[in-house]
Chains A and B, each alone.
Chain A
Amino acid sequence: MAVSQHLNLAPPLVHSGRVDELIQQGQTLSASLSPSSNSLAVFVTSTATRVQKADHSEEQPVYFASIDATPSSDRRLFVSDTSVIFAAFRNLMNAAHDESLEWLQSEKNYNIIRKLAIDYINHIKECWIHVSQPTGSLESSLQFSSDHYRSLYTCFSLFVVLYLPEFGLDDAPVGDDLMEWLNTHFIEPSTEEGDQLSGLERPWEDDTFWPYLTRATLRGLSKASVFFLDILSKHPSEDLQRLSKELKPLINSQPNLQNFSAERDFAYSSRRWNDKVKSLRLDLDRVPEEDRHDGFDNWWDRVSDIVGVLEGREEVILKICEEIGGDWKEVAVAWGVFADIRLRRQDIPEIVGQVLDDMPPDPTNIEDMIHSALFGGQPAKALEFAAKLDPWLAAHLADFMDALNLIETEAEEESGVSLRDQYTLEYADYLHSDSALWRITVVYLCSCGNIGKERADEVILRVPLQLRRRKDITVVSSEEERIRAGDVVGVLKEVNATCFEYHREEVRRTICRIAAQIFVEDKDFGLAVSYCASAEDWPGLGRVVDRVLEEYITNGPAHFARYVADIAPSLQALRSQPGSPGVFVHRLMFAVRYAGFQRRRMDLELQDAALDLVAMLHEDIAPKAWWGILLCDAVDFLQVDPTLLFSYSEAITLLQTLQEIFTRSEQNSGDDYLSILIRTIKGGEKEALDRLKTVRLWLARYFARCTVIGVGGKHVTERRSYAVS
């Protein structure tokens, strides 16, 4: 089927069958597959290695094509509606996983399975009816014809009739059920024919009369049969009048299994009814040869056929079906109603096999092939054809077949997937043609073991997080932006929730890392930090903090403090989170503390700010690269007069820090200590050291002030001890 799938793109580049013209120009096609759906970008490329630009420019197109058409709105509705049933069925199956085999076969659970199957049928039927309605808006956009859904309807119904009978009836005669199925889906003879015939004065003179009556009988349509047998009371032949009168009660009284509580009674009643048919045959045979023709037709032959059907004569049923244009289904079903009234489900394949030898199914009609495989007791083969009709059908039938052990449930060695999973994966592949259906795609994929789950990973990962939408809009009010941001987090949250539901932790973390990256680019540092934390991406967290600190370097303290305000709340949560590596949290802590310091400084809370500053150095919170910055910040505080903002020992801390930078710089490690300062003053190491020398000067003056004010004493001792050390 797929082999014949060829698409020619428009606008064409060459005439039909002249692809060699393209090749002769040194051109051919190449393609790239899209990760979001089953589509490709196709472009014209060169057949040989070519380095140079063409002499003249020529417009080169890029085409886009899709393996499957994106489901249209009606199809999408069908797909999503039925996915709900699928999920319910999977829940039952998951529950069954922990229970014994008998648990699933209990009446209660069997009835649930059957009910879900019937739910599918009802949905298909609804969809069929919906699609059949000639609404103007739909007709041109119909992706699947109503006939397509009719096919699904017949196939799924047949599956239920044959393989999912009412609880306890799997070993009951199946004839009536099959006849009901046939009459529901393949209505013959047509109502129009009946209407037309009933309007005639002498319908038996019409060519269609006898075929109509015969077929109505064959189909067990007793009302129609009796109606026209009634009309035969006006037939000129007295024999026929009498016979039709006798036939009527017979047809009306054919025993129907549904009316019996025990099969034995049904069989007994059927035997007695058969006896009556036999006596009618005797009656029929007594009609003299010359009275058997009414001038139009040999009515006797016709009546004989009808009686033959009632007698259950196999050759008559076969002959009639051929004459009236019936197919193997009609024969097989009539067989179960007339020839072998106690026909069991397990015997159907044998009977159907014989019938199919005489009347093979139509190989060009996939629906017919599915029917014959189902009748023939070949569920796996039915799936093969179902997959060609619609991946939906194969997937959902396989789901039941697997649960009912109708197909091989073990994973195939080579591919590692079971038959059920294979068809489910194929359907999921189809669903993937519409990226909007990712939730449903994931539901189906995740029902297929590890292979399915890992495929689901790829689908989940590629759900666009839509975090960038606001960029498209040039003017956005702050409120709009908030709403949009909220919306944004909604999508991300949903993806996250899906990962939790199916335990796809690795995927969730990757998504969080991607989100964090996007938030960083948008300077949404608060969100970035929380997503890094959620992904437990500590190096990533470190990078976010670096980016925030970078804000200080490029845009100054005010910007910086504002951004840190976003990330500060995360710090508390992070410190209490077990397993968060200190080094990155430490860096975050510094950013928060430093921003706090800057804010106090701007608010002129100088005493507190000074305390903060020293504490950051004293408690070892400030990274070495930032020491220089902090010391330069200290200058302002050292200059404040007359208050001494630093205690003597605090001033000593500043001096110690300063000294270490100078010492290390002499040892060629200046880069570790000065890099940030160098960047902020936009100079080199020399300029940075010069700047620090000013700090030393101010510190010296500060110590002098300390002495003058007379806070010496103890501090002097400390100072001496420092000098000694």
Chain B
Amino acid sequence: MIQTGLIQSAHNDLVTHAAYDFYGLRLATCSLDQRIKIWQLDESNGNWGAEDDWKAHDAAVSRVCWAHPEFGSIIASSSFDRTVKIWEQTPMGAQENPQPINGTQPASVLSSRWAERAMLIDARGTVRAVEFAPHYFGLKFASISTDNHIRVYECLEQPSLANWLLSEEIDILALPSTSSPSSVSLAFATPTQTSATLEGASASLVAQALQQSQSQTGVQIRPGMGNREADGGWCLSWCKDRYWGEVIAAGCGIGGTVKIIQLSPSRRPTTLLVLDPSPTPYADEGTPPPAPAPSITIPATSTTNDSDSTPAPYAITSIAWAPSCGRSYHLIATGSRDGHVRIWRVKPGDEGGEPEEGESEGKWTASVVADFDHHKSAVGSVEWNITGTVLSSAGNDGRIRLWKATSGNVWRPAGSIGVEQTEEQQDADVDMDDNAAAS
């Protein structure tokens, strides 16, 4: 492990997400400051310079993602303002009217070359994730919002990017699955539990934030939403493989399961499989709950009372479907609020076999091939490298952790990253030696 660069001041508030472009030469970052920034790598010296910067949304931007380059230079952003926006980099020179796309642009900063091409406003909750489909399915993306819906949009007019068809709108909870989590209803707990489960300052912060967002977006938020918004997780990931058609893994709310959903132009979406780690009753392990950091909002114990047999569910905060790269099975990583990073090995069902009525999920099978609780606190994100050989996870322990498959297909820790002061601050040489010895 070695540090290779730094952008001293990327945003004026916490960064919510960062996404490399297809070639890793540009980085899109988004932030609570409602802005998106594009950074360009100078390959000659390894420095990152700002290329563009604009106010993208009226609330925090939750996620950015890049479309495949065969469609051009396009990004999608999702936001707490309940919208998804599509941005396109406009070719230089072709911009006949160099008026800024947004009025707030300070004159000193280079004028934005990213134009808003579309705004999708169907979500009835904050949009938490957006991801473009694999390119062979066309210019298409899926978003997930706190109304528990996946929405799939397809671009109708490619050069203009103005018209997007809402081709699927899937209520994840309503989508039938044989092992549907029974505990989903407890998501709508009473508001008092919010402050009960959250510690002082942080609780008020969230409440305040939610209140402000409410007044800002002008949309009424149902009572009880606060708890759900804070405890829940809404995430999705496309299957990267073309062979299986359009398949999405998604998690929503505080149900600790992931649904693998098949989309088909001719049929309604079907659940292929539900990834459910709950057969392992963590409550019975006698392990102490994750470190009492203020942010960790373990679903209140009271919620478990109404269903004694079911252990408290933990929201899945992040899903990453690995590129299959010649493997005969899929790898899906999940990060959840129970502090676990799990890697699922998912085997597709018999080829060509039509899923039988009510038996659809029996076709695909899954098993956990790795389960790490090193973060000891809620896991915020998981992500694969391009070959699906390295998994990164981020937790509320202030650490990035890396995981690699070693001989015998055993997944092992492969390093971690933190921001603590070291004894010797000039440790670049030490890192290099470490690397030489360890790599």
Contact surface of A with B, Cβ cutoff 8 Å: 1-20, 22-24, 26-54, 57-70, 143-145, 148, 366, 384, 388-391, 412, 414-416, 419, 422, 425, 429-430, 435, 449-455, 457-459, 461-464, 471, 510, 513-514, 516-518, 521-522, 540, 543, 546-547, 550
Contact = CB atoms under 8 A, between A and B. Distances in A.
Interface residues of B, number: 116
Contact of A145 (B159, B202, B436): B436
A549 to B, nearest CB: 11
B251 to A, nearest CB: 15
Contacts of A29: 394, 398-400, 417-419
B238 to A, nearest CB: 16
Given A23-B293, A52-B208, A41 B20 contact: yes
Interface in B381-439: 381, 383-387, 389-390, 392, 394-400, 402, 404-405, 407-409, 412-423, 425, 427, 431-432, 434-439
Nearest to A41: B18
18 contacts: A12-B420, A16-B422, A26-B205, A26-B294, A29-B399, A30-B15, A31-B381, A31-B417, A33-B386, A38-B390, A45-B17, A48-B205, A54-B13, A59-B9, A60-B14, A458-B387, A514-B68, A514-B69
Contact of B432 (A13, A18, A60, A69): A69
A514 B21 CA distance: 13
A122 to B, nearest CB: 22
B390 A30 contact: no
Interface string B183-204: 0000000000000000000100
Contacts of A513: 70
A22 B398 contact: yes
Given A24-B294, A30-B18, 13 more contacts: A23-B293, A30-B380, A32-B19, A32-B27, A33-B20, A35-B385, A46-B14, A52-B212, A61-B7, A144-B436, A455-B325, A455-B387, A462-B23
B5 interface: yes
Interface in B1-39: 1-20, 22-25, 27, 29, 31-34, 39
B380 A39 contact: no
B323 A458 contact: yes
A457 B387 CA distance: 9
Task: State the 5 A-B residue pairs at the shortest beta-carbon distance, nearest first.
Answer: A36-B24, A47-B295, A64-B5, A451-B326, A57-B12
B305 interface: no
B210 interface: yes
B14 A32 contact: no
Contacts of B387: 429, 455, 458-459
A194 to B, nearest CB: 33
B107 interface: no
A51 B387 CA distance: 34
B320 to A, nearest CB: 10
Given A49-B229, A66-B4, A5 B397 contact: no
Interface string B59-89: 1100000001111110000001000000000
Contact of A43 (B18, B297, B439): B18
B233 to A, nearest CB: 9
A7 B400 CA distance: 10
Contacts of B431: 7, 69
B370 to A, nearest CB: 12
B420 A65 contact: no
B92 interface: yes
B420 A8 contact: yes
Contacts of A60: 9-15, 31
A430 B210 CA distance: 45
Contacts of B425: 10, 12
A33 B415 CA distance: 14
Nearest to B21: A35
Contacts of A414: 408-409
A36 B383 contact: no
A35 B23 CA distance: 6
Given A30-B400, A45-B380, A5 B420 contact: no
B72 A521 contact: yes
B378 interface: yes
B4 A39 contact: yes
A546 B159 contact: yes
Given A6-B1, A61-B8, A43 B29 contact: yes
Interface in B122-173: 126, 135, 158-159
Nearest to A450: B326
B106 interface: no
B282 interface: no
Contact of A415 (B11, B381, B408): B408
A51 B1 contact: no
A334 B11 CA distance: 67
Contacts of A419: 407
B91 interface: yes
B206 interface: yes
Contacts of A35: 20, 22-24, 385-386
A66 B32 CA distance: 26
Nearest to A20: B293
A461 B387 CA distance: 12
Contacts of B71: 517
Contacts of A143: 432, 435-436
Contacts of B297: 48
A31 B19 CA distance: 9
A555 B12 CA distance: 42
Chain A CB count within 10 A is highest, among B19, B159, B394, B419, for B419
Contacts of A51: 32, 59-60, 80, 126, 209-210, 212-213
Contacts of B364: none
Contact of A514 (B15, B70, B394): B70
Contact of B418 (A3, A19, A32, A462): A19
B3 A7 contact: yes
A539 to B, nearest CB: 9
Nearest to A429: B389
A43 to B, nearest CB: 4
Contacts of A62: 6-7, 10, 15, 18, 27, 29, 39, 48
Given A32-B19, A430-B439, A19 B397 contact: yes
A40 B210 CA distance: 31
Nearest to B430: A7
Contacts of A435: 24
A16 B421 contact: yes
A57 B420 contact: no
B436 A148 contact: yes
Contacts of A43: 10, 15, 18, 29
Contact of B18 (A32, A53, A59, A449): A32
Given A35-B20, A69-B432, A388 B438 contact: yes
Contacts of B119: none
A430 B9 CA distance: 30
B420 A18 contact: yes
Interface in B222-263: 229-230
Given A28-B398, A66-B4, A415-B405, A50 B72 contact: no
B294 A34 contact: no
Contacts of B22: 35, 461-462
A469 to B, nearest CB: 11
Contacts of A30: 15, 17-18, 380-381, 394, 400
Contacts of B422: 8, 12, 16
B267 interface: no
B25 A36 contact: yes
Contacts of A462: 22-24, 386
B435 A61 contact: no
B8 A59 contact: yes
B52 to A, nearest CB: 14
